[in-house]
Structure 1
Amino acid sequence: MRVMGIDPGTVVVGYGVIDSDAGRETMIAYGVLTASVKEKPAQRLSILYKSLEKIVLKFKPDAVAVETPFVSQNVSSALAIGRAQAVALLAATNRGIPTFEYSPAQVKQRVASYGASSKEQIQQMVKMQLGLSEIPKPSDAADALAVALCHLSEVHVSGLLGEQTPKRKRRSV
């Protein structure tokens, strides 16, 4: 199974692609897609959408997992990231690829077994679980790989429980 994880942002979107075969995960690719802060928000979203479409077409994932925005004090930031999240979901859904969404706490729980793990702890776990010699850079790409690992863990647990897909996480756009 090939999973693409996406860490959405309004200017930078991280992506990570992982293959899983018989419980062995292999990192295929990771990176970031960027849009200039000088562009208007709608134009940035269009640029990110087109870039994500190209990545989806290139790597042909079986599933796309997207991190949901964290809402704290700044609701407008969460709404802006939510738009970038929608762009990521559309890039996959328009190609018929199932999409799944995970909160930051869910990603932390699945990857590091602790829902309040630090960013550094998650990056170390990504490095360890994928057998990498160093932490993927930039951090947006490492976060995207963590989202992909989260989904693979969820699929594994669902398989143990006899479910076909993690139903509560799946979203249709």
Structure 2
Amino acid sequence: MPQSPSAVAPYSRIVLGIDPGTAITGYGVVGETVQGEFELLACGVIRTQANEEMHLRLLEIFHDMRALIAEFRPSEMAIEKLFFGRNVTTAITVGQARGTVLLAGAESGLAIAEYTPAEVKQPITVYGSADKQHIQEMLQRVLNLP
């Protein structure tokens, strides 16, 4: 589970961002201050064991998502849209994880926005085909990270 700040009150809004997957679900929690600045509150991954049955893996993702939502009390969730590639089996399992995350967000009454990878990259890097290294560098600047 994440290392969290002691208070989430000084933020005008808190957004929980999700990159869904059955083996690894990535998350980031960002707070926007009343001055319009963004601060990283937490980031990490939810890992499930490949040798577990799928329903147990999904249950673990669901419980961890509920815990994140309870801890940080976001008002919004941003989640990556499912990209349907050549591997149908992977797309189905990622879709199951995605559905589990969406359920946790809906259950908590969060406003949910879905974005393609290019839509996420565009405002951060100015172009939608940036590589992971460029995205990391730009996020470090925006969030004032070392």
TM-score under structure 2 normalisation?
0.86
Shift of 1:69: 2.4
**Secondary structure of residue in 1 paired with 2:32:** strand
Distance 2:87 2:126 in 1: 27
Whether the aligned pair in 2 keeps the contact of 1:68 and 1:82 (CA below 8 Å) is no
Partner of 1:10: 22
1:58 counterpart (67, 71, 96): 71
Residue by residue, what CA displacement relative to the aligned partner does 1:11-55 show, whole Å, maximum 9, x if unpaired? 111111111123200111111111111101121111111111111
2:114 counterpart (88, 93, 101): 101
**Secondary structure of residue in 2 paired with 1:132:** coil
Whether the aligned pair in 2 keeps the contact of 1:3 and 1:64 (CA below 8 Å) is yes
- Structure 2: 5+ residue runs without aligned partners? 1-12
Shift of 1:74: 1.4
Size of the aligned set, in residue pairs, is 133
**Counterpart check, 1:23 vs 2:28:** no
- Bigger share in helix: 1
Distance 1:75 1:119 in 2: 24
Distance 2:68 2:89 in 1: 28
Distance 1:103 1:82 in 2: 14
Whether the aligned pair in 2 keeps the contact of 1:65 and 1:99 (CA below 8 Å) is yes
Aligned identity (percent) is: 35
Partner of 1:89: 102
Distance 2:122 2:98 in 1: 21
TM-score under structure 1 normalisation?
0.73
Q: Which runs of 4 or more aligned residues in structure 1 lie more than 6 Å from their structure 2 counterparts after TM superposition?
A: none
Comparing 59-68 with 120-129, which one deviates more in the overlay?
120-129
Structure 2 counterpart of 1:77, which letter? T
- Bigger share in strand: 2
Whether the aligned pair in 2 keeps the contact of 1:67 and 1:102 (CA below 8 Å) is yes
- Structure 1: 5+ residue runs without aligned partners? 134-173
Which of the pair has the greater relative contact order for Cα pairs under 8 Å at 6+ separation?
1
**Secondary structure of residue in 2 paired with 1:36:** coil
